[in-house]
């Protein structure tokens, strides 16, 4: 299996980091994987950046060119990220040079990849969505406007009062580009997967929810528990006292209550890693117990 991951960059931004982590994970699993980017920051030899120094210097300009059309909308929301995705690309020769069995798209805006090139590649594709851009007219988050369900237009992100605006044009272009594709959609969350499945642009494609890959040599589960310590007997007594139940609680040792699995002599969890990494610990267990019982 030869896989090619395509993202705008290799290190800067959440999507770039997630894509690169996936790339390294696939290579560690002996998958012949490379990553194709428009802007390369790192020194990973398996990440393919622009060819030549001049092209590397001019590639960031594509991002500025891609957003030029939105300058016509003077009432647009400055806080909303909107990429029309209109720029032509030269992606096909670069993909063909690697000859992958699978093309895996990620964050492809800013002039990285034009959706009209999907059909030209003629290869099975997976697209991991990191936001809503794939099924909107250009915004990366619709701020609950919901107009992508109706073909966009009257775009609040652009401050547009016209039905046939830049967002509607982008929506129609994607609709044409997605026809008859061999494409699987992946989302890292059920929320985004639900939006994609119910969107007119992507509803015909299979949608899989697969969380982002993480490096388990760096990130791993740690104990997180309330501060302090008690026994099961002490815990039961505290409940009885707080609820004013006059039932005696009689302590017994572990040896007096035999079970199939051996019970540890001391099973108190340590919060030392939580405190060392993040500088805080949870409240005492008795505080949490009082809150829990008070909420009933």
Per-residue pLDDT of the chain (296 residues; tens, 9 = 90+): 899 999 999 888 899 999 999 999 999 999 999 999 988 888 889 998 887 666 667 777 888 888 899 999 999 998 888 999 998 888 899 899 899 999 999 999 988 899 999 999 989 999 999 999 999 999 999 999 999 999 999 999 999 999 999 999 999 999 999 998 999 999 999 999 999 999 999 999 999 999 988 887 777 777 788 888 888 889 999 999 999 998 889 888 777 777 787 777 777 777 777 788 778 788 888 998 999 988 87
**What separation in angstroms does the CA of 131 have from each of 91, 152, 183, 193, 278?**
22, 17, 17, 10, 28
Return the domain boundaries, the chain: 2-209, 232-294
Pairing between β-strand 2-9 and β-strand 102-105 as defined by DSSP bridges? parallel
Phi, psi (rounded to 5 degrees) for 187: -130, 150
Tell me yes or no: is domain 2-209 CATH 3.40.50: yes
DSSP states along 175-200: HHHTTT--EEEEESSHHHHHHHHTST
């Amino acid at each position: 299996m030869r896989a090619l991951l395509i993202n705008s960059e290799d290190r800067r931004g959440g999507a770039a980091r997630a894509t690169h982590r996936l790339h390294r994970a696939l290579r560690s699993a002996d998958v012949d994987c490379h990553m194709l980017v428009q802007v390369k920051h790192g020194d990973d030899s398996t990440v393919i950046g622009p060819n030549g120094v001049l092209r590397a210097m001019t590639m960031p300009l594509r991002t500025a060119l891609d957003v030029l059309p939105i300058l016509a909308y003077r009432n647009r929301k400055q806080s909303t990220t909107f990429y029309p995705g209109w720029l032509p690309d030269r992606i096909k020769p670069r993909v063909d040079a690697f000859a992958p069995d699978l093309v895996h798209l990620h964050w492809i805006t800013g002039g990285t990849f034009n959706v009209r090139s999907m059909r030209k590649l003629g290869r099975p594709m997976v697209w991991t969505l990191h936001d809503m851009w794939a099924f909107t007219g250009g915004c990366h988050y619709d701020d609950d406007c919901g107009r992508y369900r109706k073909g966009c237009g009257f775009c609040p992100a652009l401050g547009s009062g016209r039905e046939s605006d830049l967002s509607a044009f982008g929506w129609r272009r994607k609709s044409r580009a997605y026809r008859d594709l061999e494409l699987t959609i992946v989302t890292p969350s059920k929320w985004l997967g639900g939006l994609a499945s119910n969107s007119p642009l992507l509803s015909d494609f299979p949608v899989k929810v697969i969380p982002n890959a993480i490096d388990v040599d760096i990130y791993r589960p740690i104990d997180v528990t309330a501060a302090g310590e008690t026994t099961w007997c002490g815990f039961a007594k505290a409940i009885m006292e707080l609820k004013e139940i006059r039932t005696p609680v009689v302590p017994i040792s572990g040896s007096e209550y035999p079970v199939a699995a051996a019970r540890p002599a001391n099973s108190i969890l340590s919060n030392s890693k939580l405190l060392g990494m993040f500088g805080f610990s949870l409240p005492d267990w008795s505080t949490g117990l009082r809150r829990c019982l008070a909420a009933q």
